[in-house]
Structure 1
Amino acid sequence: MDYAVLTSFVTNVLFVTVLGWYLITNLQWYDYKLSRVILKHHKPHWHLIYFFIPFVAYHTTGEFFVIFFYFAIIPAMLVWHKKLDKKLVLTWRVKRFLILLVSLVLFQDILCTLKSACEVYGVFMPLAIAYIGSYMIEKFLFMAYQKEARKRLKDIKDLQIVAITGSYGKTSIKNFVAQILSKKYKVYATPRSVNTIGGIMGDINNSLPQDTEIYVCEAGAREQGDIYDIAMFVEPQTVVVAKVGEAHIEYFKSLKNIIATKLELMQSPRLDRAFIHTSVTDEPHEKVTFFGDAVANINATLDGTSFDLVSQEQDLKLHTKVLGGFQTMNIAVAVEIARNFGMSDEEIKEAVEELEPVEHRLQLIKAGGKIILDDGYNGNIDGMLEGIRLCSLHEGRKVIVTPGLVESSDELNLRLVEAINDVFDIVIITGDLNAKLFNQNITVQNKIMLKNKESLTDVLANQTKAGDIILFANDAPNFI
């Protein structure tokens, strides 16, 4: 093999690997759904720059492609990758895809003798076969993992399962339910924002303790049928459908479709009790308890939250260090679930008093004389408006860092803009998703627009000082 042939061989292997890396990174962001990568991507121009132009150049530049690859494509991809704040996680699924892809391109290049065929199929075929092959492997493993997870659930005697869904608040409710019930029972909850059927199965197989008495599970959806699949799989006895709104409206097309999808959780074969927010439905059902209107006298400050829970049973006066008036609704349903599991009001009051704030959801942090409200994982209008209201209580300067609402409407973003204009001294808008809308409507004098978060640390160091309060509202990744 002479030098030119060897160079072409190595370049071809590296080029296909680079395109495969780009493809699998985007697939991981969008739940491995190719249709979402193609049709729902928040920055579709990336596909043009980092995939289609290199792909066309491979077929049109001939012997000069080697130069274009090493001096244009690789540097561009390295810069792109470096700027990502949500980089590719090398899970076993990703490793299997990359190993299969590299094996295919090596096999093809070694055996390929028809030069024209190699040029035509040298990139497309390995990528296509690796994607299809990886998909088939994952389907097979999915069935195996599902069987194993079902067996594990059945092997835990008398296991009670609480499943929680909704547009807003489901992760907070999950954490509050788990914290309160853990004062009396052995409770395990799905970690972080694990809420897909694949994530739930993996968590059951790898982490669910054998002595668990109550398993608290979060159920998320990107399309109709997702919640139904989870309901049929875990078969919860207790379900919660939290507040529903126009989150992910671009996937569901209408609020009616969102509500119908969330209510799929009610189809659990073992349903005993359902707690449903009044925004979802008001249709009576013998197994349904409605929530959302049972809190009164809310006093929510930067020091904590107090409220009264009004119910058919004894009313409760509750206090928690959890911030945000909207969280009283989420705590209230957690209290009703605890009552349903036989906890006394005294046990519940003590548990609520000791509730820990949910990470990245109005989490108060003090650093360098500054107050930081980390609300990075909150992406709904109610939560963001409450974060802004809490900041308004601070006597010093007020700073907000936000990309705005994601997967939402201009109308709701304009509501957010109006609230920001009334409260903040410094506004830092990250990303370009809502940049035009915010730039046109933000009237705060000190307004900073950042295309990405690469320079955010330096901007905050230069713009903020001790005594400021800084709200991080909806920390969306750069690809959004």
Structure 2
Amino acid sequence: MMAKFLLILSLSFFWLARELKIALFYLYLWQLKEYHLGRFYDHFRTEKSKRLIFHPLKIAKILLFLIYICFFFFPTIAFLLNSLWLFSLLIIYGLEAVVFLKDVFRKTLKKPTLTIKTVFLGLVVISALGSGLILAKVVFPNDFQKFLLTLLVLDIFSPFLISLLVISFQPLTIIWQKSIIEKAKRKRAQFKNLVVIGITGSYGKTSTKEFLATILSQKLNVLRTKEHQNSEMGISRCVLDELNENHQVFVVEMGAYGVGGIKLLADIVKPQIGIVTGINEQHLALFGTMENLISAEGGQELIESLPKNGVVILNGNSQLVMSNFRFLALDLKSQIFCSTKEKMDIWAEDIKTEKDRLSFRIVSKDGQAANFKVNLVGRQDVENILLTAGGAKELGFTLEEIARAAERIKPDQGALKLLKGSGGVDLIDSTYSANTNGVLAALDHLKLWSGKKIIIMPCLIELGSVSIEAHRQIGKKIAEVCDLGVITTQDKFAEIKEEAVRLGMNPNNILSLEDPREIWEKIKGFCQEGNVLLLEGRVPPEILAKAQEP
């Protein structure tokens, strides 16, 4: 009797540990994907997520469930295999509990950032799972095996049940969000003289926002949206919590994952100046078509939301921007094109790129010109500075004033951060986000080093129908620049490697590795003075930590 009690107690503890881990992971994933069903679904198209669904232990549990069903029809088999069935279940849940505890102690457990919403959903999910455990014991007080079978079924379907709970509360969330948005709109409407600058695009939004806010702050009182605060809720919270009568300018980063998303943000903050940083295929899988993407994150909705005395500033280096907006008759005060390639309304020339700084000259059609020196990593930031200059000029800054203010821009405000890593290697941290243009620009920057060049990156996601071609471009650039490429996910590794090898890269130097320990063993010999290591996108955090060790 005591042995049976201990077995039930052990299995219940192991089961709860497993369910707590899976609950935290799915709450983390839903939060990471901003509770957007399309982004959540797209995540499960990746090879890593497919392996999660078809994990060997998951398959083993399904087999144990099917074997138990067979017990009803074949009592003899049940008599012979019953003990083995129980022992197998105990081993599986015991292993998962050990993994859970190991993740807790190593601080590698994936869990959501604490917010009111995640705490509420966490309590709901944990209550539901705990209720399932108690209900199973109440319904089958003396039937040990049916009790365990109930726990097994709950476990197999727990990802679906957790996601269903999250989705079921979305209507309440939407009602609450609408209330917050309406409050933000009313508050914004009180500031009649506030100048709002909206920034959207497929890439470069955050850097442009940071640069512009820093420059304008030299003469004006500026509010900017914080990191990852580019959605309707983030922007609304910024308005409600931080906007006050002392602010003269509000610089707003705007992101969206569907048609109408940027229009919604524009309706909240009412921008008079819009900046479109560039368009590529990032998030195409969510928008469905390029027309939808261009409508929202591509800037069309922002432009259409500007008043008749409004101004739009566009990146003339972006082919998609030029093809969609250059010859479009806009009912605005002016549209300003910026470029590093040709003389437009504002352009850059004499660009000199060093490892940790940029120098260039900006010229505008009105005859102004100024020399710029900024402590930023990567030529791509010249485009962002040009867009920033366009915005500052509209608020009365001269190019000379902008150039002086730009000297106050900090290196960590750019997308690439140059650090000194383990063994003296130069470490470029580009883990904030990843898109095709950003990856290619970062790889181009590696050419400034004469030593060995290494990149570690996952495959890009949410690229839709252009994913194969985008990864072929990355493979081509890796072959052109790098001595070693480590790709941490499988999704489009074949395309990257095929293109890299086709262009002459040694197949042994373009690898797919997921285990952080294997990755570190492969790259640690390269960590020495004169070499450079690029960490691009969501690489394993253990690698970032190891690479920064003295």
Same topology, TM > 0.5? yes
Q: C-alpha separation between the residues in 2 aligned to 1:286 and 1:249?
A: 28
Q: C-alpha separation between the residues in 2 aligned to 1:129 and 1:365?
A: 43
1:105-116 alignment, distance < 5 Å: 105-107=129-131, 110=134, 114-115=139-140
| Distance change (3 Å), C-alpha of 1:152 and 1:74 | farther
Q: Which stretch shows the higher mean deviation, 456-465 or 322-331?
A: 456-465
Q: Residue 327 in 1 paired to residue 381 in 2? A: yes
Q: Which residue of 2 aligns with 1:167?
A: 202
Q: C-alpha separation between the residues in 2 aligned to 1:193 and 1:472?
A: 20
Which of 33, 37, 42 is the matching residue for 2:40?
Answer: 37
Q: C-alpha separation between the residues in 2 aligned to 1:206 and 1:457?
A: 43
Q: Which residue of 2 aligns with 1:176?
A: 211
Contact kept, 8 Å, 1:427 with 1:448, in 2: the verdict is: yes
Q: Which residue of 2 aligns with 1:289?
A: 335
Q: Which has the larger radius of gyration?
A: 2
Q: Which residue of 1 aligns with 2:409?
A: 355
Structure (1/2) with the larger helix percentage: 2
Which of 83, 90, 102 is the matching residue for 1:67?
Answer: 90
Distance apart, 1:337 and its partner CA: 0.9
Q: What letter corresponds to residue 331 of structure 1 in structure 2?
A: I
Distance apart, 1:181 and its partner CA: 0.6
Q: What letter corresponds to residue 243 of structure 1 in structure 2?
A: G
Q: Residue 217 in 1 paired to residue 252 in 2? A: yes
Q: Which stretch shows the higher mean deviation, 151-160 or 255-264?
A: 151-160
Q: C-alpha separation between the residues in 1 aligned to 2:196 and 2:60?
A: 50
Distance apart, 1:108 and its partner CA: 5.6
| Distance change (3 Å), C-alpha of 1:140 and 1:285 | closer
SS in 1 for 2:198: strand
CA deviations on 1:333-381 (whole Å, 9 max, x unpaired) are 2111111111233321201233223446222223453322223335333
Distance apart, 1:209 and its partner CA: 5.5
1:389-468 alignment, distance < 5 Å: 389-408=444-463, 409-440=467-498, 441-442=500-501, 443-445=504-506, 447=509, 449-452=511-514, 454-455=516-517, 456-468=519-531
Q: C-alpha separation between the residues in 2 aligned to 1:6 and 1:397?
A: 55
Contact kept, 8 Å, 1:85 with 1:477, in 2: the verdict is: no
Q: Which residue of 2 aligns with 1:47?
A: 53
Q: C-alpha separation between the residues in 2 aligned to 1:7 and 1:404?
A: 40
Q: Which stretch shows the higher mean deviation, 8-17 or 95-104?
A: 8-17
Q: Which residue of 1 aligns with 2:344?
A: none
Which of 425, 428, 444 is the matching residue for 1:373?
Answer: 428
| Distance change (3 Å), C-alpha of 1:11 and 1:469 | closer
Q: C-alpha separation between the residues in 2 aligned to 1:168 and 1:128?
A: 30
1:123-272 alignment, distance < 5 Å: 127=162, 130-156=165-191, 158-208=193-243, 211-262=246-297, 263-268=300-305, 270=307, 272=310
CA deviations on 1:18-71 (whole Å, 9 max, x unpaired) are 443332222122222345433542223312339964874785566838515522
Distance apart, 1:332 and its partner CA: 1.1
Contact kept, 8 Å, 2:258 with 2:292, in 1: the verdict is: no
Q: What letter corresponds to residue 70 of structure 1 in structure 2?
A: Y
Which of 3, 18, 23 is the matching residue for 1:20?
Answer: 23
Contact kept, 8 Å, 1:335 with 1:348, in 2: the verdict is: yes
Q: C-alpha separation between the residues in 1 aligned to 2:434 and 2:405?
A: 27
SS in 1 for 2:54: helix
How many residues align structurally? 478
Contact kept, 8 Å, 1:231 with 1:267, in 2: the verdict is: no
Q: C-alpha separation between the residues in 2 aligned to 1:468 and 1:186?
A: 42
Distance apart, 1:207 and its partner CA: 4.4
Identity %: 23
Q: Which residue of 2 aligns with 1:273?
A: 311
Give the CA RMSD over aligned residues: 3.6
| Distance change (3 Å), C-alpha of 1:250 and 1:127 | closer
Q: Which residue of 1 aligns with 2:80?
A: none
CA deviations on 1:216-258 (whole Å, 9 max, x unpaired) are 1111122222212212222222111221111122222332221
| Distance change (3 Å), C-alpha of 1:382 and 1:34 | closer
Q: Which stretch shows the higher mean deviation, 193-202 or 363-372?
A: 363-372
Q: C-alpha separation between the residues in 2 aligned to 1:111 and 1:380?
A: 47
SS in 1 for 2:353: strand
Q: C-alpha separation between the residues in 2 aligned to 1:105 and 1:395?
A: 57
Q: Which residue of 1 aligns with 2:547?
A: none
CA deviations on 1:288-320 (whole Å, 9 max, x unpaired) are 413233233322232522333232222323322
CA deviations on 1:69-124 (whole Å, 9 max, x unpaired) are 52244345567886969643233222111211222344465567555899499666
Contact kept, 8 Å, 2:377 with 2:414, in 1: the verdict is: no
| Distance change (3 Å), C-alpha of 1:129 and 1:334 | closer
SS in 1 for 2:330: coil
| Distance change (3 Å), C-alpha of 1:95 and 1:57 | farther
Q: What letter corresponds to residue 463 of structure 1 in structure 2?
A: F
| Distance change (3 Å), C-alpha of 1:228 and 1:61 | farther
Contact kept, 8 Å, 1:188 with 1:212, in 2: the verdict is: yes
SS in 2 for 1:332: helix
Q: Which stretch shows the higher mean deviation, 337-346 or 179-188?
A: 337-346
Q: Which residue of 1 aligns with 2:535?
A: 472
CA deviations on 1:409-440 (whole Å, 9 max, x unpaired) are 22232222222223323333333233323333
Q: C-alpha separation between the residues in 2 aligned to 1:264 and 1:298?
A: 33
Q: What letter corresponds to residue 201 of structure 1 in structure 2?
A: S
Q: C-alpha separation between the residues in 1 aligned to 2:485 and 2:56?
A: 32
Contact kept, 8 Å, 1:165 with 1:241, in 2: the verdict is: yes
Contact kept, 8 Å, 2:196 with 2:252, in 1: the verdict is: yes
Q: C-alpha separation between the residues in 1 aligned to 2:377 and 2:132?
A: 58
Q: C-alpha separation between the residues in 2 aligned to 1:312 and 1:225?
A: 34
Q: Which stretch shows the higher mean deviation, 69-78 or 30-39?
A: 69-78
Q: Which stretch shows the higher mean deviation, 347-356 or 57-66?
A: 57-66
Q: C-alpha separation between the residues in 1 aligned to 2:128 and 2:216?
A: 51
Distance apart, 1:168 and its partner CA: 1.8
Contact kept, 8 Å, 1:19 with 1:51, in 2: the verdict is: no
Q: Which residue of 1 aligns with 2:370?
A: 317
